[in-house]
Structure 1
Amino acid sequence: MSKNLAIWEKAKREGRKMTMITAYDYPFARLAEAAGMDAVLVGDSLGMMIAGDADTLRVSLEQTEYHVSIVAKAVTRALVMADLPFGSFEESPAQAFASSARLLKAGADMVKLEGGAPMVETVAFLSRRAIPVCAHIGLTPQHVRQLGGFKRQGKTPDAAAKLIEDAHALTEAGARMVLMEAIPAELAAEITRQLTVPTIGIGAGPGTDGQVLVMHDVLGLNPDRAPGFAKRYLDGADLVRTALAQYAEEVRGGSFPPAG
């Protein structure tokens, strides 16, 4: 078992909150590690944050593998989690294993896959073959077209009951973590109380064992696209724009580079 995963499981038992942030390259992963993040997620959100896509569906396994290899170079302490991108795991458990093996060889400690009950067989297959899995339920961005958009999930009693059922089925199949996205806080807290594995929330209230946000949302680098539940800790877009404008002005004015 990964030492980094064991730290998360120990934190769950001791009631300590854990932190996760996305990163897609070496500089940001290095900063996340230096800041003391407990985990770095190489998410398929890179399609939206890095490539400017409207959703995550175009991200390939090869792209994810490349970004994992870069991030893993910068991270020595935190857990490195990698998303299985759309189309890389749904066809069969064997396909999921082949994709997961590539991501672990690239440097990931754990893979994350989206979906509830239909993914139970796949999670069991991976778990029996030494692949640590984080299950992702609630709002699953890879299903955005089926869901009709990035909509909050688990709002009705039936929908909430289904998510609880999915969480138990996935962990019984071997999932070592459960990420819950955009579901009611009370529901996320209840699922967290019922599960023995660590839970991670994003837009799911304060009752989960850990929290994850997208790096670019935290730093304010894509302010026009940030979800309502994200908190901006820095006006990064303004700071970068100002610095670049100053550089351009100095070049055009002849003050950079200095003479001699």
Structure 2
Amino acid sequence: GSAPGTGAAAWLPLRTLTHTTPTGTVAIPLDDLDPYRDLDDPVAPARLAAGEAAQWQRVFDDAVAILAGAGTGQGPGRLDPAAVRAVVPYGRTALTPPAPPTVAVSASSGDSFGAMVISRPGSALALAETLVHEFQHSKLAALLHLFPLLDDDREERYYAPWRADPRHLTGLLHGAYAFTGVAGFWHDRLTDPAHSEAAAYHFALRRLQCRLVVRTLLTSARLTAPGRRLVEGLARTLDGWLRVPVDRVALRRARK
């Protein structure tokens, strides 16, 4: 066979998304080959066309710049892209109409920390938000591997404002944790002239939704001691954000 890395038929090198950090270049796998890259059954390789891979890199570059705009400090909704372990492209936009301005599909698995399935977004802002969202799921999944956070009977009886179907408690906690991170992402962009209008609406919406779900979790009487500490921490963060003034029009839209 051909030497590894030549791209000949006998060897397909894994594509990567690269970005430069103060300590060097980071390469994140853009995995379109592994049979277990999906969340369900094994799937065949679906090699991205060169142009499609290049577009992923362009959108990723801009998303990294957006994430860097929040500064280097820690906080809800902030993410160092180097922490992402793999991005699995869902679908191939070369074979479908152009990507919409939002991410149509994204998902992650508790058994694959930092890896995420994402359909290529139509904007860097949408990708940056999705990276934050899915990494929040990864962090909570890691905690759930380490500590029992709730006593979940898996009955899907709870309302989640971001879904049409009822959720069990674990799903509810995942949503609250992920969207609190998303609210933090938008909070950091309230004063960014390029994104302030979108940020005002999404921040107002997600903080209200998350506080509603956190109240459900706190009154369910099914949280363990570590779980209660976690959810009470979310409540304190959200209560602080509810006091942050936002544009009145955005607030009215969020409350509809």
TM-score when normalising by structure 1: 0.23
- Ranked by relative contact order (alpha carbons within 8 Å, sequence separation 6 or more), the top structure is 1
* Greater fraction of residues in strand: 1
